[in-house]
């Protein structure tokens, strides 16, 4: 067992000593600098004929000069080498921008990077992938920072992930702010805090890191950056300076989808190499092994869900050696349980057994515990999904200094808006965290509170909610317009923005916002929602009661229509200027529909001529944060049920005021399938 002193992280002085001589030092690689100030960009290429020109154009657009691009074609079977040579011929006329194309048999990305670095001549080296994009100032800002700080070996930056749709639009998936993380070998083993393309290196410093491991076909970048963080000194610019394209063509993603035993063995080999490197450098191995064990544990659970048992067994066995006895026992138990569950699940009703056990327990426990047990039984009987607040709090604590909004500001801002009141502030904390962990991040998350319920403003807001301001939450105060608070004020405050509304008691899935935003990019003239009810009429043209509508329609059964009644609990995205001007008439909406804002905004969309569209693969069933309320076990739910009976009155009042019933009846006759007519 290591002592506390041995577990301390390296000081910069210790790192400086290792840089002079490390077990990886290579005096022949990457060779001596030939041109001072020159930046060499090394690009390994394998079958990227359609994307390579875009990457090269982004490098050519860098204002910094001189730049040298070394393209290493690693045995492509498509037109990649010809395209690279054609692009080089068209751009090689400038002495400050040169391109070299190397063609060779397929030997892997590591070997290609090694060959490219050896061929290069620059004072600085930038490794870059053949399908990603540099932002215009990446090289200039990195070089400037290195020249200003001669004691540093590399400068790194943040990046954003993106995906291009078939119609040419670009969706920013997330912006990864590695500059906020702690940059140590131990942290890298746990969170992979240095991406391959992030750092611009001094050429002379790379000798201490050594060459890329050519015997590793997967995880080689993870292993190399572990060595970088172990022996070099760097600084992170808190700016997004390049974009990583999401594709289905990477080696690691293909192998993970297969769940092959080869995939597992190769990643385990990379992890073992990291542990060996730590030993060679004298880094305490216990925290490194535990961090790698946690990564393996996450991979094992992913494989178990896919029932890829061969690779699951290999990954689980490797994890058990690293995560300690207590966690090891839990993982071993989970392994046996998952295998048994997968084998016997068709024959055993585990839910029924759990309900029977809980009922027996409930008869023999003190009365004060029986409501909680009754709630668990009800959850099992209804199959209602639920969240673990304890796990979410642990996740928030582990993430530390993260940002819930994007640094990549959109031309048309994307704003997420919601409201809450004092009794629900605890639930709103979890709801807002789920909005901050979306696969695409909004430009702003705005929480509206009222002067009436929070007269002292911040002093009346719970501490957990206030803490989310550090991660991008904006809290605003206004007059109480009841359920209209979450949208009316945001439409006024951000008139040219895309506004998505959310509820304060729902835990949203990670791609909730992405589905809404992608649907908007396809048809920006419509309102988009996850959950909608189909309005129905009887044979005489009279609108049927709300309870008899087509509730929670799947997207396959819908078309964009005025008959899609939006329900805000699932989430709704409003494009700019999509509602009638009466949407802001406070006297009118509080008189006609005081307790149901969905009715009002639905009618405002019809008056404006804006159709409602249910997003592809919609999520009509939400995950509530407070199961007791959702199951009708508290006073707040009783009030909700009273309001629900007022829906028919409010629908009729608003439609009569604007005379819309004949128009909707005509639309119903044209669009609604026969089986859904009364």
Using a pLDDT cut of 70, give the percent of the chain over it.
85
Query: pLDDT at residue 1 above 70?
Result: no
Contact call for residues 406 and 445 (beta carbons, < 8 A)? no
- The pLDDT value given to residue 201: 97
248 confidence band (pLDDT: 50, 70, 90): low
- Mean pLDDT value of segment 333-360: 66
Query: pLDDT at residue 600 above 50?
Result: yes
The C-alpha atoms of residue 45 and residue 104 are separated, in whole angstroms, by 11
φ/ψ of residue 39, rounded to 5: -105, 120
Name the residue with higher pLDDT: 339 or 37: 37
CATH, domain range 27-249: 3.90.550.10
Q: What is the pTM of this model?
A: 0.70
- Mean pLDDT value of segment 203-222: 92
List, by residue range, all CATH 3.90.550.10 domains of the chain: 27-249, 403-533+560-627
- Mean pLDDT value of segment 106-115: 95
Q: What superfamily would CATH give domain 403-533+560-627?
A: Spore Coat Polysaccharide Biosynthesis Protein SpsA; Chain A (3.90.550.10)
SS3 labels along 491-517: HHHCCCCEEEECCCCECCCCCHHHHHH
The C-alpha atoms of residue 525 and residue 575 are separated, in whole angstroms, by 7
Task: Return the structure tokens found at 421.
Answer: 């009141």
- Mean pLDDT value of segment 318-323: 83
* Secondary structure (DSSP) of 188-256: HHHH----TTS-EEEHHHHHHH----TT-SSSHHHHHHHHHHHH--EEEEEEEEEEEEP-S-SHHHHHH
Specify the range with the lowest mean pLDDT, choosing from 32-41, 237-246, 652-661, 667-676. Answer: 667-676
pLDDT tens digits, 548-562: 999 989 888 899 999
Of the candidates 556, 564, 536, which has an alpha carbon nearest to the alpha carbon of residue 548? Answer: 536
């Amino acid at each position: 067992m290591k002592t506390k002193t041995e577990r301390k992280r390296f000081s910069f002085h210790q790192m400086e000593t290792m840089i002079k001589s490390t077990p990886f030092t290579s005096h022949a690689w990457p060779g001596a600098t030939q041109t001072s100030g020159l930046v060499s960009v090394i690009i390994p290429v394998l079958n990227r004929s359609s994307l390579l020109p875009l990457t090269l154009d982004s490098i050519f657009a860098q204002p910094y000069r001189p730049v040298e691009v070394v393209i290493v074609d690693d045995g492509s079977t498509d037109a990649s080498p010809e395209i690279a040579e054609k692009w080089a011929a068209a751009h090689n006329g400038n002495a400050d921008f040169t391109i070299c194309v190397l063609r060779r048999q397929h030997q892997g990305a590591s070997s290609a990077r090694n060959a490219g670095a050896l061929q290069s001549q620059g004072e600085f080296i930038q490794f870059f992938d053949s399908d990603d994009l540099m932002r215009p100032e990446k090289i200039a800002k990195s070089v400037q920072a290195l020249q200003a700080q001669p004691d540093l070996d590399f400068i790194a930056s943040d990046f954003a992930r993106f995906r291009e749709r078939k119609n040419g639009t670009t969706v920013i998936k997330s912006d990864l702010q590695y500059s906020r993380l702690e940059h140590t070998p131990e942290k890298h083993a746990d969170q992979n805090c240095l991406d391959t393309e992030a750092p611009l290196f001094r050429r002379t410093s790379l000798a201490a890191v050594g060459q890329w491991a050519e015997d590793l076909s997967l995880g080689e970048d993870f292993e190399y950056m572990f060595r970088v963080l172990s022996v070099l000194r760097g600084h992170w610019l808190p700016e997004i300076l390049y974009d990583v394209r999401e594709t289905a063509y990477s080696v690691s993603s293909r192998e993970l989808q297969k769940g092959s035993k080869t995939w597992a063995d190769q990643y385990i080999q990379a992890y073992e190499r990291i542990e060996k490197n730590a030993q060679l450098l004298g880094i305490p191995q216990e925290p490194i092994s535990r961090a790698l064990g946690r990564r393996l544990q996450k991979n094992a659970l992913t494989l178990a869900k896919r029932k890829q048992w061969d690779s699951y067994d290999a990954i689980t066995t490797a994890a058990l050696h690293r995560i300690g006895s207590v966690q090891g026992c839990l993982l071993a138990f989970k392994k046996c349980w998952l295998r048994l569950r997968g084998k016997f699940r068709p024959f055993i009703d585990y839910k029924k057994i759990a309900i029977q056990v809980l009922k027996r327990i409930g008869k023999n426990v003190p009365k004060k515990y029986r409501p909680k047990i009754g709630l668990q039984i009800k959850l099992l009987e209804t199959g209602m999904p639920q969240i673990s607040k304890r796990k979410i709090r642990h996740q928030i604590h582990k993430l530390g200094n993260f940002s819930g909004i994007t640094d990549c500001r959109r031309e048309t801002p994307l704003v997420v808006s919601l409201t809450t009141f004092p009794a629900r502030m605890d639930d709103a904390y979890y709801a807002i965290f789920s909005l901050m962990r979306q696969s695409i991040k909004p430009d702003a998350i705005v929480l509206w509170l009222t002067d009436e319920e929070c007269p002292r403003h911040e002093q009346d807001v719970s501490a957990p909610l206030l803490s989310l301001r550090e991660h991008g939450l904006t809290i605003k105060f206004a007059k109480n317009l009841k359920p209209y608070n979450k949208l009316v004020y945001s439409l006024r405050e951000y008139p040219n923005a895309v506004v998505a509304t959310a509820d304060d008691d729902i835990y949203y899935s990670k791609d909730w916002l992405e589905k809404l935003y992608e649907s908007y990019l396809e048809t920006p003239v419509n309102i988009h929602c996850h959950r909608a009810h189909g309005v129905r009429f009887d044979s005489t043209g009279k609108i049927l009661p709300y309870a008899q509508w087509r509730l929670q329609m799947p997207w396959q059964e819908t078309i964009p229509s005025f008959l899609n009644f939006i329900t805000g609990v699932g989430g709704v995205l409003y494009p700019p200027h999509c509602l009638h001007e009466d949407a802001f008439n406070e006297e009118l909406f509080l008189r006609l529909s005081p307790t149901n804002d969905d009715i009002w905004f639905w009618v405002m969309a019809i008056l404006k001529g804006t159709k409602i569209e249910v997003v592809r693969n919609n999520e009509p069933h939400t995950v509530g944060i407070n199961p007791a309320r959702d199951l009708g076990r508290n006073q707040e739910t009783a009030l909700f049920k009273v309001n629900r009976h007022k829906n028919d009155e409010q629908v009729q009042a608003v439609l009569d005021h604007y005379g819309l019933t004949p128009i909707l009846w005509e639309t119903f006759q044209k669009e609604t399938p026969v089986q859904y007519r009364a």
